[in-house]
Amino acid sequence: MFKKLLLGFFSLLFFASCAQKDEVNIYSSRHYDTDLQLYDRFTEVTGIHINLIEGSSDELIERIRNEGINSPADIVITVDAGRLWRAKEAGILQQHQSEFLQEVIPQQMYDREGYWVGLSERTRGIIYNRNTISTDDLQGYWQLSEEKWAGRICVRSSNNIYNQSLVASLIEVHGEEATEEWAEGLVRNFARPPQGGDTDQIKAVAAGLCDVALANHYYLARLIQSSSSQDREVAEQVGIYFPAAEFGGTHVNISGAGIAANSPNRENAIRFLEYLATENAQLLFAVGNNEFPVIDGLQLPDALDSFGSYDSDAVNVSFYGINNPAAIRLMDRVGWR
């Protein structure tokens, strides 16, 4: 505890020593090398220096809460709309407006009250074994509860925010009662108890342990681009399917950011958010972590381009957080461990 307090004290001293007018203080739960390139380019373009604190989403939320009105945080960056909702509920974000952001980013990607904005897209696709499944066999997430999929589905645990957000989205579209019936059927169709991460689900499909799995698209893109021949062999055994609009569309989550409630450099923070929605920054999101841009018309890396286009389910991502408590309770009731 003393070490944490001491670390917080020295970080506050560090931030206080920087020139206020030429800086922006970022608290980020993203840990990608290309994010550092984003920060460097922002400084090159604007002359505004970036001070970076990294940690898990929950750690950063708690840290900013403890720092209170003296927090140096200007920007909070994290992944999944559910986590952004947690930050908003914790009272560590403030409302903001930007004509530029509203013009280039779809409204589906915004917090409905203006506390945060999505900056890259993360689709949750259906991974399938190319040797046993045809895309003609696939429809949408809703159909995975049907009896024909008994013993054929792999998925990670219910404590994973990606799965929670998918269920929260389905609650918004279908209602809680119908979604619970769906989740009961899905659990009955599990090929094994939930375990591992998204990459583990992809490998299980490739190994024939299950025929289909749920996974975010960029995990497959990483395997495709891996320097490991074993990873690339796994990728060759599977495909990714994005549910079409007629089957409810594809679940799209985000990586996003908001302005901290007590931001000492608010104007710089808005400039930083706007920079992240420019073409150059959006391309770095795509190249660096294989995330889809939130703006249209960009040339995608080969791995992403090979996945093809997708029809979003059109659910405002705010509902992933709003419905998160109900989603967790529902998943617990149906025995999704």
pLDDT for the residue 288: 81
- The count of other CB atoms within 10 Å of the CB of residue 217 is 24
Three-class secondary structure of residue 154 per DSSP: strand
Question: What's the Cα-to-Cα distance from 134 to each of 41, 55, 93, 238, rounded to whole Å?
Answer: 44, 41, 45, 11
Calculate the average pLDDT of the chain.
91
**Is residue 16 predicted with pLDDT exceeding 70?**
no
Q: pLDDT tier at 15 (50, 70, 90 boundaries)?
A: very low
Which is more confidently placed, 12 or 123? 123
The mean per-residue pLDDT over the stretch 195-214 comes to 97
Establish how many alpha carbons lie within 13 A of residue 162's alpha carbon, considering only the half-sphere containing its beta carbon: 21
Q: Please, which residues bridge with residue 260 across strands?
A: 93
Q: pLDDT tier at 21 (50, 70, 90 boundaries)?
A: low
The mean per-residue pLDDT over the stretch 307-323 comes to 94
Q: pLDDT tier at 87 (50, 70, 90 boundaries)?
A: very high
The mean per-residue pLDDT over the stretch 60-72 comes to 96
**Is residue 3 predicted with pLDDT exceeding 70?**
no
pLDDT for the residue 9: 37
What are the backbone dihedrals phi and psi of residue 291, each rounded to the nearest 5 degrees, phi first?
-90, 145
**Is residue 20 predicted with pLDDT exceeding 80?**
no
**Is residue 75 predicted with pLDDT exceeding 50?**
yes
pLDDT digits (tens, 9 = 90+) for 296-309: 888 888 999 999 99
Q: pLDDT tier at 1 (50, 70, 90 boundaries)?
A: very low
**Is residue 14 predicted with pLDDT exceeding 60?**
no
**Is residue 284 predicted with pLDDT exceeding 90?**
no
The mean per-residue pLDDT over the stretch 320-335 comes to 97
Range name among 2-11, 42-51, 185-194 with the lowest pLDDT average: 2-11
Q: pLDDT tier at 174 (50, 70, 90 boundaries)?
A: very high
Q: pLDDT tier at 287 (50, 70, 90 boundaries)?
A: confident
Of the candidates 300, 316, 242, which has an alpha carbon nearest to the alpha carbon of residue 84? 316
Three-class secondary structure of residue 252 per DSSP: strand
Q: Which two tokens stand for residue 299?
A: 């040339």
CA distance 245 to 23: 44
The mean per-residue pLDDT over the stretch 239-249 comes to 95
Of the candidates 112, 213, 209, which has an alpha carbon nearest to the alpha carbon of residue 153? 213
pLDDT for the residue 31: 81
**Is residue 90 predicted with pLDDT exceeding 50?**
yes
273-294 CB burial, b ≥16 within 10 A, e <16: bbbbbbeebbbbbbebbbbbbb
Residue 128 near residue 211 (C-beta atoms within 8 A): yes
Q: pLDDT tier at 7 (50, 70, 90 boundaries)?
A: very low
In order of start, what are the domains of the chain with their CATH numbers? 2-121+253-299 (3.40.190.10), 123-251+314-333 (3.40.190.10)
